[in-house]
Amino acid sequence: MVRSTIALSLAGLLALSVSSVHAQGSTAPVRILVGFAAGGAVDSVGRALAERLRVTLKQPVIVENRPGANQRLALSELKRSAPDGQTLVLSNSAPFTVFPHAYKKLEFDPAKDFTPIGRVATYELCLAVGPKVPAGGIKEVLMWAKAHPSEASYGTSGPGNISHFLGGMIGNATGVQLQHVPYKGGSPALVDLAGGQIPMIIDTIYEPMEMSKSGKVRILATTGERRSPFLPNVPTLRESGINVSADAYVALYGPAGMSADKVQRLSKALSEAMQSPELQKRIQQFAMTHSYSTPTELAQLQATTLAQWEGPIKSSGFSAD
């Protein structure tokens, strides 16, 4: 009788323990892959997001950096991962909306190999100039570029990205052809801009904005449909008479084949995490706007943006292996 009572008590404790684990969430960590080195904007946002997801998912969440090949290493690893919701990626929109048109051989199909979880942020880009060009607005700079075609170049963080193709779009819209100079990252391009080695760059807003405060560079225009909340005194390209606009986003994805309940759980946790003022502030520190969307909305945005980039990329003639 005593043994029976002990056995029943142990069974009850075991059931209570299992119930408690389920209530608190899984103890296995969720991995968020980031295709950039530690310390950059997407990585920093990813780490702030992981902190909030630990609360909303009730389980450990870690960030793992997989830099290289323009985020393609991280996405290739995600593609190979089990669809159990334990491995995700935080990426900007380029691999999903630009790369399919720019790369001859892409290791993945963005529309088939991944599961949208939700958008986290949106951001604009900008055109900035250094001391190599004369004073004035964007029209004066483009007039200078037309008069000095051998010097009319713009730097970007690398070939095959949004900044690269924006330069071509600006050239087509104005009749001023600009030579693309790809760098290995935005920081070295910005250094050369401030030093006068290159006349202009097209990049995300954050780093040029910080350097513009010292007067070393000038931001002439932003690329969104509306003025950036971070640069309210800077006109858009459209306001400047150039019929070009483009922005980008940062979003969370899982591998293909995830069950609906896992997607819903992650999406709900992301939505709750995005309500955190601390996370919103961290996103804004990198000149991004926090902007959650559902998995369905993200899939629609991805498809629409992919279609929008097809023409500009094909007309550029660019193709990468």
pLDDT of residue 11: 44
Question: 21 phi and psi, to 5 degrees?
Answer: -60, -45
Q: Which structure tokens are listed for 178?
A: 């600009």
Domain 28-122+248-316 has CATH 3.40.190.150: yes
pLDDT of residue 172: 95
Let me know how long the chain is.
Answer: 321
Query: In whole angstroms, what is the distance from residue 172 CA to residue 244 CA?
Result: 10
Mean pLDDT of 180-207: 94
- Asked if residues 149 and 177 have their Cβ atoms less than 8 Å apart, the reply is yes
Q: Could you identify the residue written with the tokens 């880009």?
A: 125
Query: In whole angstroms, what is the distance from residue 170 CA to residue 238 CA?
Result: 11
Query: In whole angstroms, what is the distance from residue 237 CA to residue 127 CA?
Result: 9
- Note the Cα 237 to chain centre separation in Å: 21
Residue 91 confidence (pLDDT) above 50: yes
Query: In whole angstroms, what is the distance from residue 78 CA to residue 191 CA?
Result: 34
Mean pLDDT score of the chain? 92
Residue 299 confidence (pLDDT) above 70: yes
Residue 98 confidence (pLDDT) above 60: yes
pLDDT of residue 14: 42
- Note the Cα 31 to chain centre separation in Å: 18
Query: In whole angstroms, what is the distance from residue 50 CA to residue 245 CA?
Result: 32
Mean pLDDT of 163-178: 96
Domain residue ranges of the chain, discontinuous segments joined by + = 28-122+248-316, 124-222
pLDDT of residue 13: 43
pLDDT of residue 27: 80
Residue range 124-222 forms a domain whose CATH class is alpha beta
The three-class DSSP label of residue 6 is helix
Over the stretch 104-162, which tens digit does the pLDDT of each residue have? 999 999 999 999 999 999 999 999 999 999 989 999 999 999 999 999 999 999 999 99
pLDDT of residue 5: 45
- Give 168-236 as a DSSP string: HHHHHHHT---EEEE-SSHHHHHHHHHHTSSSEEEEESHHHHHHHTTTSSEEEEE-SSS--TT-TTSPB
- The model's confidence at residue 26, banded by pLDDT at 50, 70 and 90, is low
Query: In whole angstroms, what is the distance from residue 1 CA to residue 276 CA?
Result: 54
Residue 284 confidence (pLDDT) above 90: yes
pLDDT of residue 114: 98
Identical fold, 28-122+248-316 and 124-222: yes
Residue 311 confidence (pLDDT) above 50: yes
pLDDT of residue 321: 77
The three-class DSSP label of residue 291 is strand
Over the stretch 33-71, which tens digit does the pLDDT of each residue have? 999 999 999 999 999 999 999 999 999 999 999 999 999
Lowest-pLDDT range, 18-22, 143-147, 252-256? 18-22
Q: Which structure tokens are listed for 271?
A: 């939505």
Q: What percent of the chain shows pLDDT beyond 90? A: 85
What DSSP character marks residue 29?
P
Mean pLDDT of 197-203: 97
